[in-house]
Structure 1
Amino acid sequence: MQNDEKFEQLVSIIIPAYNCSDFIGATLDSVISQTYKNWEVIIIDDCSTDNTEEIVSTYISNDSRIKYFKLEVNSGAAVARNKAVDIAEGKYMAFIDSDDVWFSDKLSKQINFMEHNRYNFTCTSYTKIDDKGNYLGRTIIAQNRRNYDGLLKTSPGNSTVIYDAEKLGKFKIPDIKKRNDYVMWLQVIKKEKYLYGMEEPLSSHRIREGTLSSKKTTLVKYHWRVYREIEKLSILKSCYLILYWITATAFKLR
């Protein structure tokens, strides 16, 4: 039997980073432990002031697949993500936040899911963990299929998404402080039509106290910007989507 690794396509893994020294090691460990081996990690450091660079350097010295770049000026996650996409050379683009972790078979199962079904844009279910990596008793189940309108209502977990850049091209996003990953997915789905989801959870999203993403009320204005300024939706539809998002968040449906 031939070795399946000979047929593995290159996956570019995009990691924007900023002051993530407490968690970036666990994130990289989860990537290194992947059963799928043909990948490159592109870390764009948005001028961290902690020892993120020092920690990443220890990984680079042991694994040439990990690449690190530091921005000259603090510019935000959108700029960092766009630079990483520019550098990426893989057929597939995968994304993981600098404090999230993947299950060891994440890439192998998701790439197989894509290639077997000829899907170009996919996500998976994911679990929620706390600062120490403890499971919080919540698993967000991915929908089997979403079109543009479905994606407007519920965004996939950033660290679960993979798209085929060879077939769809590379996507850039405007400079918005939060929800910039969401804007990227909305761009992709306009070209691909559907986002396909795997029901099996293959990654964990870390909930960190005090971060913007942990304070859901602060995200409303960013959703409004996405709907009105970027997607050019009507006021009525934008209000409906905001109310839908608030309700889903309140009842912990996402």
Structure 2
Amino acid sequence: MKTNPLVCICVPNYNNEKTLSQTLDSLVNQTYPNIIIKVFDNASTDGSIEILRAYEAKYPYLHVIQNETNIGGEANFTKCIENMEGDYSAVYHSDDLYLPQMVESQVDFLENHLDCVAVSTHAQTIDGNSTLTGERYLPDEYTHQKFKIFDDEIALLKTTLKHGNIITCPSVMARCDVYKNKIAFWNGKEYLTSADLDVWLRLASYGKFAFLTTALMQYRVSESSYSYNLARIRVDRGDIFLVLDAYIDRYKNALEKSDFVHYKFQKFKDNLSVMLNRMILGKPHKGYTIDILDWDLFILALSGRLHAKIYIYGWIAKILSWVDFLPVGRYLLKWKRFGK
């Protein structure tokens, strides 16, 4: 076991001048002593590069790599992976905040769990003003555990079918040799905005994947963030199903009936979200039907409050669709958030 193994933190950035300084401050103030920070600026057109150069001049372990032209988000993530070094590596985001003990906690865990190839953490949520708004979804069965270990990609896939993607993208630290030489690239071409889930599943195929239930970072969910607006106005099937469908096809013989029922519920929830968005925006929604009479979904809805809540919203949406979505329904559903 090394003393203070080197950690390489890669940060892709594009036009995040409003949050960049806060993010960098949270990284340079980590309690872990042996880190190198590489920021990959994707040809920002705001004041990002001036901020980055100022930090680069102040902190000798912080390096800025500036793309001459915008190569796209996924290609910039791949560039991060290609330029990793040291013992452990992570791709953190330039609009999120990282609690001082985050890197130290992740390194300590990986050093003491040599069979784990990667570790992620739970996350709090903040708004555009960095005000704490809550926490990301944490399955009830994890709340009394310090960590959860997924033995392989099948175990992580089963959890994703049941709960959705619980891994916060900028919370993952992995062994550098695996990340750089085995994972190698971010497959945005095939999996679009859910390419991160593919990376986690691929990492889990090389060793155990851990999830720390302590919130060690603050994930920004604001009206200006890409992920927020994507979820709010999305009118087509979620990209996560590109990943789930591919991995279900690959591992279908290792899955059980309950896994397929959970997958069915994930599709129900996604179709409901798309259906509501389309109704709110006045778009046709006939291609996104929800089967509220499905017996498996009804039984699953009885298993917990979250499933029941979504199932009830399904009934409401179905009734409103029958009456051509009354204006009062549009007003209420426009402000209603459901699920996790």
Same fold (TM over 0.5): yes
Higher relative contact order (CA 8 A, sep 6+): 1
Whose strand proportion is higher, 1 or 2? Answer: 1
Q: Percentage identity across aligned positions?
A: 21
Give the counterpart letter for 1:24 in structure 2: L
Match of residue 300 from structure 2: none
Distance 2:73 2:20 in 1: 15
| Paired residue secondary structure (1:48) | coil
- Answering whether residue 214 of structure 2 is matched by residue 197 of structure 1, we say no
Query: What is the CA-CA distance between 1:95 and the residue it aligns to?
Result: 2.2
Q: What is the Cα deviation at residue 252 of structure 1?
A: 4.1
Deviation per CA, 1:116-141: give whole Å up to 9, x if none. 22222111111000111111033443
Q: Does 1:223 align with 2:223?
A: no
Deviates more, 1:64-73 or 1:121-130: 64-73
Residues of 2 paired with 1:47 and 1:242: CA distance? 37
Shift of residue 90, structure 1, vs aligned partner? 1.9
Secondary structure of 1:120's aligned partner = strand
Per-residue CA deviation, residues 24-83 of structure 1 (Å, 9 max, x unaligned), is 111110000001021111211122111111111100001121121122332222110111
Mapping of residues 28-67 of structure 1, within 5 Å: 28-67=24-63
Q: Count residues with an aligned counterpart.
A: 246
Residue 154 (structure 1) shift: 2.2
Runs of 4+ in 1 over 6 A off after TM superposition: 245-249
* Structure that is richer in helix per residue: 2
Deviations 1:228-247 (A, max 9, x none): 4x54739x967554336668
For residues 140 and 241 of structure 1, the distance between their equivalents in structure 2, rounded to whole angstroms, comes to 15
TM-score between the two structures when normalised by the length of structure 2: 0.65
1:36 maps to amino acid: Y
- In 1, Cα distance between the equivalents of 2:178 and 2:243? 26
Secondary structure of the residue that 1:226 maps to in structure 2?
helix
User: 5 Å matches for 1:1-254?
Assistant: 7-118=3-114, 119-141=116-138, 143=142, 144-146=148-150, 147-149=155-157, 150-151=159-160, 153-166=164-177, 169-171=181-183, 172-176=185-189, 177-192=192-207, 194-215=208-229, 216=231, 218=234, 220-228=237-245, 231=247, 233=249, 241-243=266-268, 251-253=338-340
Which deviations, in whole Å up to 9, do the C-alpha atoms of 1:208-242 show, x marking residues without a partner? Answer: 204330032538432233334x54739x9675543
Q: CA RMSD in A?
A: 2.8
Q: What secondary structure is seen at the aligned counterpart in 2 of 1:22?
A: helix
Q: 5+ residue gaps in structure 1?
A: 1-5
Contact kept? 1:17, 1:98, Cα under 8 Å: yes
Structure 2 unaligned spans of 5+: 143-147, 251-258, 274-305, 311-336
1:3 maps to what in 2? none
Aligned partner letter, 1:183: D
| Secondary structure of 2:107's aligned partner | helix
Choose 1 or 2 for highest CA Rg.
2
Q: Secondary structure at the match of 1:127?
A: strand
